[in-house]
Amino acid sequence: MAAALDYLRPASVAEALSLLSTIEGAQPVAGATDVWVGIRSKKHSPKALVSLKNIPNLRFILPDRETDAYEGRAEGVTGDSGVLLGAATTHGDVEDSAWMKTHFPAVHQACSGVGSRQVRNVATVGGNICNAAPCADSAVGLLLYDATLVIAGPAGERELPLSEFFVGPGETRLGPAEILKEVKVPNPGPRTYAWYWKHTRRKGVELPLLGVGARVTLDADGMVEKARVSLGVCAPMPTRSYEAEKVLEGQKLTAELAAEAGEVAAANALVRDTWRGRGWYRREMVRVLVPRVIKLSGALS
Amino acid sequence: MTRKEERLLPEVERAVRAPEELVVVGKRIPKSDALYKVLGQAQYIYDMQLPGMLYGKILWSERAHAKIISIDTSEAEKVPGVRAVITAQNTPEIRIGFMKDQPVLKKDKVRSFRDEVAAVAATSWEAAEEAISRIKVVYEDLPGIFSPEEAMEEGAPLIHEMDARGKELKDNRIRLPWKLVCGDLEKGKAEATCTVTTSYEVPAVNHCCMGTSACIASFDAGDNLTIYDITQIPSLAKADFLEALKAMGAKGRVRVITPTIGGGFGSKLDTYGYQYIAMLLSHRTKRPVKIVFTREEEFFATSPRQQAKFTITQGCDKEGYLTFREVNATLDNGAYISWGATTPSVMMMPMSSLYRVPNIEFKSTCIYTNNTWAQAMRGYGNPQATFAIDCNMDELAEKAGIDPVEFRRRNANIPGEETPQGFLPRTCGHRECLEAVVEKMGYEGRQSGIVEGTPKARGMGVASLIHVGGGAKIYRSDGCATSIKIDDDGWVDVFSGSQDIGQGLDTVLRQIVAEVLGFKPEKVKIHVGDTDTCGWDAGCHASRSTFVAGNSAKVCAEIVRAQMVANFAAQLEVAEDAISITEGEVLAQTDDPDKQVTKVERLLRRAHMTGRGNTMFMASNFWEPNNKLLAGDFHGNFSMAYTYGVHGVELEVDTETGQVDVINYVAAHDIGKAINPMLLDGQAYGGIMQGIGYALTEEMLFDKGKLLNPNFRDYKILTCLDVVPIEAIIVETDDPEGPFGAKGVGEPGLVPVAPAIANAIYDAVGIRLRRLPMTPDRVLEALWAKAGKAIA
């Protein structure tokens, strides 16, 4: 049981930011599914929790779903068929969005596999990103689409590519008085194929042994114009395999090329032995699963 | 094959019952408590609140093995709301476990991370927790021992310097010599033309009860204890608690009451330190004290199925008949003795009596270590032993050049044959189970190996089980008491000494009593779990409840029925044999049309309320099975019936990831007679899923005695999304001793799952996995080893 702590419920982003900057050791929370585990196990002892749940306009999938009070914030921001996710959008919201499934299948898959449905009903995409676990499913999915984070702070808003956000396990470039407000995902363009695979020991309530995402965008001639390979649990943070991406880009996509990308990703993976999984096995799974995920994306057919 | 015919028993007389005679028994009736559980109305101990109740927390050892130099509780006592802080220094010593090697609160020394060092009662959980965090304990570390091998090394430090009687101990071996010899091992070896020796290893696994350990202890002004508890053994727990009361100098009585229990699986077969701590705290404060384990405590401070290693050799003759079986087992008992140390007594059952094998030697040693101490878990030692036996069976079959199914067919158990250990199974559907599974799976036409164009390989495997199905005489009594009363509106209350831990005994007894009385089942209510109102019972264990409590209830109901029939016959002025009662109506063979059909309530009321009657119908009965305690050499018929089964699994191995996916599961159980096929399916599904977890995913991981994965994130119990297609086949052999022919089936569903899966993996990809769980990395490692590829 934790020591008593304040639970504050600001009604706006500005109020939340002001609370965070005035209360030392205040921790922003949304679904709190990770934060509470940390508090209960005494890994974290925040002085206060600042809930973002009551702030309007933080839970939406644009253009698929808007919050009632939304004021046209994202007009033109993401371009056609890009997506703007409110940070308090739950994994369940994404899971339930047929639109996300169609346009951003890898994000949809990543979000649909987090925890259990009960967890997904409250756990938010923004929380998953800010918790910065090496296995964060939604981050691994979003890395494929060059997502950008919209961060609100005392000095206004700033944007930061997701790929630059993580510093280490549980560590990010989010300042103590900042909150993640939105996740902006550009239109990946036509002929884009993407998939996310969560390699697990069981089918539910599970962290991945390894999370593997792959996306390829082909040009009109069928050559790989842009490739993204992202990995969870392969480094101290969700990461891209730039080496594997290089193997794919500018080439004609074949099963052999996909296998080569797997080899290169595996060779460069920063896996290590932990009691949760052995390094050699994780490395081998990168080798095996990267080409499989490319194949599952449909880009090869 | 007739070589053992001379040992066959005479054919037992079977009661002949046409199935259509049964109105309630044999029907798929939903569990009596299902509605209440689904609606959240079932009352668990976590829901209970008593006036003035305090909250108790335990300070667990921070060391695996250390001397306690001092305990300073002064800061804890200052925390507002704290009512008592207890240690071994300020409380009477209570020793627990059947060999009494454990004091509830540890005084001089801790021997594991789950040793209780101190405890607090306070007016809130928060205050209790705060106080616990302020207790200062100074330890002096001792070298820890975390495996039986280390524990048995020359000069290894002693975990216990002396036994409970003060006798000095020389080493860490537990003085329980488990040795079973049947037939003539050397003769069996001489007869064998083919032998295989293999070794197997199984991990510690947790019961993972959804309801964590909890109790509320409450003393009244007369020093009488009422303890709300979640025990599987109300009568035996009461006896344990009474003993503790004596040690505490309390002269009162003990009442054990169990609310709804959130799972047992053997975990509640003993009494634990926390129950005595709640008693001590309550006695000290004169207030009710509640203790509830967190999930982490439930993982590290309750007793798991233990880690064990087996080395087994079996041999067969040139026709493929087993000639001998020789097994050595080493069990990591942990720091103290509970029932886990007696699991070899149940391992003996499959060792001696699974498949027909005349010459046997089984030896097992339990070793003290500084790991968590072991307990009973579904199947007791049976799943561990069967993993060794039935995997080795496949290896022997292969070496002998016989198909694994055909090999089992030749060696299958048969009814009426005394087994080498002296069991007398009057019914045995082993062969029927085998044939049913083989047919249902399409075993004969199976296509094993790589599925073309994929990295996946398919395979099928089978394994068998024997388990006690007619009680198990472990204590001097293996009986059960039942009282039944019927009120004048036809409502029936059944007070059974037995216990329902979610397995559905309440429903099974309801069906049995309703059947005998001729009442509708909804008129019958089962009461268990109150030692003031329910009679004695040996507890809910050994798959005995349907058989023993069922027989007890059946006989009791027959007595009440006879009382009613005599009375109704007089009321209706017909002979007793002209009366029958069915579905709540009394049918009389008489020419008087007014008397031919009467609602039973009418006759009951008339019996009670009219001048000619003033009769109520009630009876009590204690039913003791006719089984025997095992003799000193562990021979004897300790159960009145034996349950058999065969499981078959079809699975897919991903040869690139090592992932094993069960595609289809078929399980046939000979349970004598299904009292309720729906509950039986449930027992099979639950046992099989728990078994798949044992086989593929579950493992308690320790680092020098410290549990690394005390939560559901890292302890991989399977989820509802992991449920595989399961077909549960019921084989009915109508046991002459069982209630309506039934045998017990609580544990069997888990027993042969792991070997069936291991055998199917071999069938698919040709690798033998001899260590559980068979995780993807271990599967892949074995595949690489087979291909001559080294891991980095």
pLDDT attached to residue A62? 87
Rounded to whole angstroms, what are the CA distances from B128 to A40, A192, B117, B217, B633? 15, 58, 15, 16, 50
Percentage of residues of chain B with pLDDT beyond 70: 97
B772, B202 Cβ separation under 8 angstroms: yes
According to DSSP, residue B373 is labeled P
The beta-carbon neighbor of B697 closest among A202, A281, A283 is A202
Question: Dihedrals φ, ψ of B730, to 5°?
Answer: -100, 120
In a domain, A56, yes or no: no
Dihedral (CA of B578, B579, B582, B586) sign: positive
Residue B24 has pLDDT above 70, yes or no: yes
Helix, coil or strand: residue B677: helix
pLDDT-derived band at B610, boundaries 50, 70, 90: confident
CB contact under 8 Å between A276 and B714, yes or no, is yes
According to DSSP, residue B740 is labeled G
Residue B451 has pLDDT above 80, yes or no: yes
Chain A: residue nearest B723 by CA? A203
**CATH number of the domain where residue A101 is located:** 3.30.465.10
CB-count exposure of residue A277 (10 Å: 0-12, 13-18, 19+): buried
Helix, coil or strand: residue A6: strand
Residue A76 has pLDDT above 50, yes or no: no
pLDDT attached to residue B11? 53
CB contact under 8 Å between B792 and A1, yes or no, is no
Summarize pLDDT for B228-271 with one digit per residue, the tens.
Answer: 999 999 999 999 999 999 999 999 999 999 999 999 999 999 99
Q: Are residues A197 and A273 in the same domain?
A: yes
Higher pLDDT pick, B15 / B69: B69
B271, B237 Cβ separation under 8 angstroms: yes
Tokens (6 digits) for B377: 């878990």
According to DSSP, residue B211 is labeled S
B257, B227 Cβ separation under 8 angstroms: yes
pLDDT attached to residue B491? 98
Enclosing H/E stretch for A101:
helix A98-103
Over residues B286-297, mean pLDDT: 98
Residue B27 has pLDDT above 80, yes or no: yes
pLDDT-derived band at A284, boundaries 50, 70, 90: very high
Its pTM stands at: 0.96
pLDDT-derived band at A94, boundaries 50, 70, 90: very high
Task: Please count the helices (runs of H) and the strands (runs of E) in chain B.
Answer: 19, 31
Over residues A120-139, mean pLDDT: 97
Size of interface A-B (CB pairs under 8 A): 52
The beta-carbon neighbor of A1 closest among B125, B776, B777 is B125
**CATH number of the domain where residue A21 is located:** 3.30.43.10
In a domain, A253, yes or no: yes
**Which strands make up the sheet holding B524-527, listed edge to edge?**
B524-527, B492-496, B480-486, B617-623
Residues 264 through 293 of chain A touching chain B, CB cutoff 8 Å: 275-281, 283-285, 288-289
Chain A: residue nearest B455 by CA? A288
pLDDT attached to residue B690? 98
Cα A147–chain centre separation? 9
Tokens (6 digits) for A245: 């991406």
Summarize pLDDT for B63-91 with one digit per residue, the tens.
Answer: 999 999 999 999 999 999 999 999 999 99
Q: Give rounded-to-5 percent helix, strand, coil for chain B.
A: 30, 25, 45
Dihedral (CA of B384, B390, B391, B396) sign: positive
Residues 211 through 250 of chain A touching chain B, CB cutoff 8 Å: none
pLDDT attached to residue B380? 96
pLDDT attached to residue A3? 57
Rounded to whole angstroms, what are the CA distances from B791 to A194, A260, B761, B774, B785? 31, 20, 21, 17, 8
Instruction: Report how far residue B713's alpha carbon sits from residue A206's, in angstroms, rounded to the nearest whole number.
Output: 6
Residue B19 has pLDDT above 90, yes or no: no
Enclosing H/E stretch for B255:
strand B254-257
Over residues B471-476, mean pLDDT: 93
Over residues B707-724, mean pLDDT: 96
> CATH 3.30.365.10 spans which residues of chain B?
5-14+304-472+630-786, 479-623
Q: CA-based angle A155:A161:A165, to the nearest 5?
A: 80
Q: Are residues A13 and A95 in the same domain?
A: no
Tokens (6 digits) for B788: 């001559």
Over residues B130-145, mean pLDDT: 98
In three-state form (DSSP H/G/I as H, E/B as E, the rest C), the secondary structure along B235-292 is HHHHHHHHHHHHHHCCCCCEEEECCECCCCCCCCCCCCHHHHHHHHHHHHHCCCEEEE
pLDDT attached to residue B7? 44
Give the structural domain span for A30: 6-51
Q: What is the distance in angstroms between the Cα of A186 and the nearest Cα belonging to chain B? A: 34
The beta-carbon neighbor of B708 closest among A3, A199, A275 is A275
pLDDT attached to residue B284? 97
- Name chain A contacts of B658, Cβ cutoff 8 Å: 281
Chain A: residue nearest B701 by CA? A275
Establish if A123 touches chain B: CB-CB under 8 angstroms: no
Q: Which residues share a beta bridge with B257?
A: B228, B530
Summarize pLDDT for B426-443 with one digit per residue, the tens.
Answer: 999 999 999 999 999 999
Mutation target among B133, B711, B722 for the A interface, most CBs of A within 10 A: B722
Q: Are residues A87 and A126 in the same domain?
A: yes
B648, B669 Cβ separation under 8 angstroms: no
Q: Which CATH number applies to B479-623?
A: 3.30.365.10
CB contact under 8 Å between A203 and B719, yes or no, is yes
Q: What is the distance in angstroms between the Cα of A162 and the nearest Cα belonging to chain B? A: 27
pLDDT-derived band at B463, boundaries 50, 70, 90: very high
Q: State the complex-level ipTM.
A: 0.95
Nearest residue to B503 (alpha-carbon basis) of B208, B745, B237: B745
CB contact under 8 Å between A1 and B126, yes or no, is yes
In a domain, A116, yes or no: yes
pLDDT attached to residue A4? 72
Q: How many CB atoms lie within 10 A of CB B177?
A: 10
Chain B: residue nearest A291 by CA? B656
Q: What is the mean pLDDT of chain B?
A: 96
Q: What is the distance in angstroms between the Cα of A63 and the nearest Cα belonging to chain B? A: 32
Q: CA-based angle A8:A10:A12, to the nearest 5?
A: 165
Dihedral (CA of B29, B30, B35, B40) sign: positive
Q: How many CB atoms lie within 10 A of CB B605?
A: 16
Establish if A199 touches chain B: CB-CB under 8 angstroms: yes
Asked, as a colleague might, if the bond just before A190 is cis with ω within 30 of 0, I would say no
In a domain, A1, yes or no: no
Summarize pLDDT for B728-752 with one digit per residue, the tens.
Answer: 999 999 999 999 999 999 999 999 9
Percentage of residues of chain A with pLDDT beyond 90: 86
Residue A273 has pLDDT above 70, yes or no: yes
Q: Are residues A144 and A166 in the same domain?
A: yes
pLDDT attached to residue B1? 40
The beta-carbon neighbor of B716 closest among A201, A278, A280 is A201
Chain A: residue nearest B774 by CA? A201
CB contact under 8 Å between A277 and B697, yes or no, is no
In a domain, A27, yes or no: yes
Q: CA-based angle B501:B507:B508, to the nearest 5?
A: 95
Higher pLDDT pick, A77 / A165: A165
pLDDT attached to residue B6? 41
- Name chain B contacts of A116, Cβ cutoff 8 Å: 719
Chain B: residue nearest A285 by CA? B657
Q: What is the distance in angstroms between the Cα of A56 and the nearest Cα belonging to chain B? A: 32
CATH superfamily, domain B45-142+213-292, is Aldehyde oxidase/xanthine dehydrogenase, a/b hammerhead (3.90.1170.50)
Task: Report the domain count for chain A.
Answer: 3
Q: What is the distance in angstroms between the Cα of A172 and the nearest Cα belonging to chain B? A: 24
- Name chain B contacts of A205, Cβ cutoff 8 Å: 712-713, 719
Establish if A26 touches chain B: CB-CB under 8 angstroms: no
Nearest residue to B771 (alpha-carbon basis) of B288, B309, B375, B128: B309
Residue written as token pair 């101290």: A236
In a domain, A301, yes or no: no
pLDDT attached to residue A268? 96
pLDDT attached to residue B552? 98
Nearest residue to B484 (alpha-carbon basis) of B516, B462, B455, B507: B516
Question: Dihedrals φ, ψ of B189, to 5°?
Answer: -65, -40
Domain boundary among A150, A185, A220: A185
Task: State the amino acid at position B683 in one-letter form.
Answer: Q
- Name chain A contacts of B716, Cβ cutoff 8 Å: 201-202, 206
CB contact under 8 Å between A284 and B780, yes or no, is yes
CB contact under 8 Å between B777 and A277, yes or no, is yes
Chain B: residue nearest A210 by CA? B657
Over residues B617-636, mean pLDDT: 96
Chain A: residue nearest B662 by CA? A202
The beta-carbon neighbor of B720 closest among A204, A276, A278 is A204
- Name chain A contacts of B656, Cβ cutoff 8 Å: 288
According to DSSP, residue B210 is labeled S
Tokens (6 digits) for A243: 């080496």
Summarize pLDDT for A138-181 with one digit per residue, the tens.
Answer: 999 999 999 999 999 999 999 999 999 999 999 999 999 999 99
Q: Are residues A181 and A196 in the same domain?
A: no
CB-count exposure of residue B13 (10 Å: 0-12, 13-18, 19+): exposed
Instruction: Print burial letters for A81-120: b (CB count within 10 Å at least 16), e (below 16).
Output: bbbbbbbbbbbbbbbbbebbeebbbbbbbbbbbbbeeebb
Q: What is the distance in angstroms between the Cα of B781 and the nearest Cα belonging to chain A? A: 9
Q: What is the distance in angstroms between the Cα of A3 and the nearest Cα belonging to chain B? A: 8
Over residues B88-114, mean pLDDT: 97
Mutation target among B721, B723, B774, B789 for the A interface, most CBs of A within 10 A: B721
Mutation target among A1, A42, A197 for the B interface, most CBs of B within 10 A: A1
CB contact under 8 Å between A207 and B713, yes or no, is yes
Mutation target among A202, A263, A292 for the B interface, most CBs of B within 10 A: A202
Instruction: Report how far residue A153's alpha carbon sits from residue A177's, in angstroms, rounded to the nearest whole number.
Output: 6
Chain A: residue nearest B133 by CA? A1
- Name chain B contacts of A1, Cβ cutoff 8 Å: 125-126, 129
Summarize pLDDT for B497-553 with one digit per residue, the tens.
Answer: 999 999 999 999 999 999 999 999 999 999 999 999 999 999 999 999 999 999 999
Over residues A28-47, mean pLDDT: 91
Tell me the CA end-to-end span of chain A in Å, nearest whole number. Answer: 54
Fold of B5-14+304-472+630-786: Aldehyde Oxidoreductase; domain 4 (3.30.365)
pLDDT-derived band at B611, boundaries 50, 70, 90: confident
Instruction: Report how far residue B460's alpha carbon sits from residue B441's, in angstroms, rounded to the nearest whole number.
Output: 8
pLDDT-derived band at B612, boundaries 50, 70, 90: confident
Helix, coil or strand: residue B696: helix
**CATH number of the domain where residue A266 is located:** 3.30.390.50
